[in-house]
Amino acid sequence: MIKSSFAAVAGPRTRVLVLGSLPGEASLRAAEYYAHPANHFWRLMAAVTGRDLVGQPYAARLGTLLDAGVGLWDVIGAARRAGSLDAQIRDHTPNALGAFIETLPALRAIGFNGRKASDIGRRQLGADPGPVLVTLPSSSPAHAVPVARKQAEWMRLKAFLGPGE
């Protein structure tokens, strides 16, 4: 089955862009980024931004992220995939990341949510895309790493949310 990414969530004040691979089944059903209740994304980003994201409705979460300078998108525009695992992604069509990041004047860093997103995204962006590229452990519950260890890595994004040059 062909699955597609959501629209990007970003704006002119976006300093950090978090890129996943492709929404999983729970996210596609809910039409929301990181909708699976066991996914650690919202908890990790709450720690990074210092703002409540877990207790808010979805639309408010997105607004809070944008207000904090964080944007969301996926490296894959569409692909064949059975289930939700990145390992099952086949025949993918990438999103136009290079053109997109050119529309984000404040962008300082791109955080790749997992190895698959990093591999695909780095290939698309090339050797020197401008923003700092950070590969993060996947927020997915399928990535069996303690959440405290994930959080320590994700906290690297915090430095890019501070005052700009």
* Domain contains 132: yes
Supply the range of the domain harboring residue 45.
2-160
Residue 21 domain flag:
yes
- For residue 77, being part of any structural domain is answered with yes
In a domain, 57, yes or no: yes
Beta bridge pairs of residue 72 = 9, 18
Specify the pTM: 0.93
Assigned domain for 53 exists:
yes
**Cβ 107 vs Cβ 11: under 8 Å:** no
What's the CATH code of the domain at 133?
3.40.470.10
Closest CA to 8 of 64, 68, 66: 66
Residue 13 lies in a domain: yes
Which secondary structure element, helix H or strand E, spans residue 91, and what is its range? strand 90-94
pLDDT of residue 80: 77
Instruction: Indicate if the alpha-carbon torsion angle 53, 58, 59, 65 is positive or negative.
Output: positive
pLDDT score of 82: 80
Question: Is 85:36 a contact under the CB 8 Å cutoff?
Answer: no
Task: Name the DSSP letter for residue 46.
Answer: H
Residue 47 lies in a domain: yes
Q: What is the pLDDT of residue 164?
A: 53
Asked whether residue 165 is assigned to any structural domain, the reply reads no
Share of the chain above pLDDT 90, in %: 75
**What is the distance between the alpha carbons of residues 93 and 36, in angstroms, rounded to a whole number?**
24
d(CA 129, CA 13): 18
Residue 39 bears catalytic tag: yes
Q: How many separate domains does the chain show?
A: 1
Q: Cβ-count burial of 112 within 10 angstroms (0-12 exposed, 13-18 middle, 19+ buried)?
A: buried
Residues in the chain where the model's pLDDT stays below 50? 165
pLDDT at 165: 43
Phi-psi region of 50 (alpha: psi -120 to 50; beta: other; left: phi over 0): left
DSSP string of 108-137, one letter each residue? -EEEEESHHHHHHHHHHH-S--SSEEEEE-
Instruction: Please identify which of the residues 5, 27, 39, 118 carries the catalytic annotation.
Output: 39
pLDDT tens digits, 103-142: 999 999 999 999 999 999 999 998 777 899 999 999 988 7
pLDDT at res. 142: 77
